[in-house]
Amino acid sequence: MTELGRGGVAADELEGFRMGPERALNRVAVCGLLLLGGCAWMRGGGEGRAADAAVYAVALDSLADAGTAPLVVRDSTVTLPRGAPVLNDVHLGLMGADSRMRAQLRERAARTEPLPRLPIRRGVKYASGGGGPGTGCRYEVSGVGYAADRRRAIVYVARRCGGQGGTGWLVLLRALPGGWRVQAAAVEEARATPSPAPPDPLTPPPRRANVRSESRATRSREIIHG
């Protein structure tokens, strides 16, 4: 027969509710970890995307030509090779990025993330996929690397113009009372797709062709005199 405790609760169930100081502390620790995890999730979700959007908007608005409207921007972040010069410690150090900013930039640049909606007054047109020849110019961004206090950020921004190449920048931003501001921007790469040069009509024919002609002529003379 089951013995009932206060309120009609079985004694063995009541015993299960009792816990010593050790178990109580363990439960408090677990609850604390869950709370911190929830805060981190919120910061990486809503707050993190809002910060990303603000950083992207300021960086793009400062680098794009004033007359360009709307800005054509890729709808997801770009990935950068692990050994890309833009991720080199020397370049990032010269920009003032600390170790945490470098690590986070490299981590986020290794994967593609959906781009948040950007608060740019001149307007934004979002483009998907890779731009090929004849697709015009568009801007691309990497994931953002933040300092521990989230008051500084570094991001890679690129301007691609179809098959004509493009330019990339490392952009360092600082959070001020009025919002994010660009602190420094360095051109990291400038490349263009070279077109093959047309043949020069004054250039003599390759010597190899002359050698083959001479060889054929020599064989003909040998056959005739043979």
Q: Given this model, what pLDDT does residue 136 score?
A: 73
Q: Given this model, what pLDDT does residue 223 score?
A: 35
Q: Given this model, what pLDDT does residue 192 score?
A: 44
Average pLDDT in the chain: 74
Task: Count how many domains the chain has.
Answer: 1
Cα distance between residue 56 and residue 69, in whole Å: 16
Any long-range contacts for 39-46 (C-beta under 8 Å, 24+ apart)?
none
Tokens at residue 213, please? 């002609």
Any long-range contacts for 169-177 (C-beta under 8 Å, 24+ apart)?
169/63, 170/86, 170/91, 170/92, 170/95, 171/59, 171/62, 171/63, 172/95, 172/96, 172/97, 173/55, 173/58, 173/59, 175/150, 175/151
Q: What are phi and psi of 41, to 5 degrees?
A: -65, -40
**Predicted TM-score of the model (pTM):** 0.64
Q: What are phi and psi of 120, to 5 degrees?
A: -110, 125
- Residue numbers of the chain with a pLDDT score lower than 50: 2, 4, 9-19, 24, 28-44, 132-133, 190, 192-197, 209-226
Q: Given this model, what pLDDT does residue 202 score?
A: 55
Q: Decide if 57 is inside a domain.
A: yes
The neighbour count for residue 104, using CB atoms within 10 Å, is: 19
Q: Given this model, what pLDDT does residue 199 score?
A: 52
Q: Given this model, what pLDDT does residue 41 score?
A: 31
Cα distance between residue 213 and residue 186, in whole Å: 56
Q: Decide if 118 is inside a domain.
A: yes
> In 3D, which of 113, 108, 110, 97 has the Cα closest to residue 154?
97
Q: Decide if 13 is inside a domain.
A: no
Q: Decide if 137 is inside a domain.
A: yes
Structural domain range at position 169: 21-191
Q: Decide if 120 is inside a domain.
A: yes
Q: Decide if 207 is inside a domain.
A: no
**What element of type H or E holds 167?**
strand 166-176
Q: Decide if 226 is inside a domain.
A: no
Q: Decide if 224 is inside a domain.
A: no
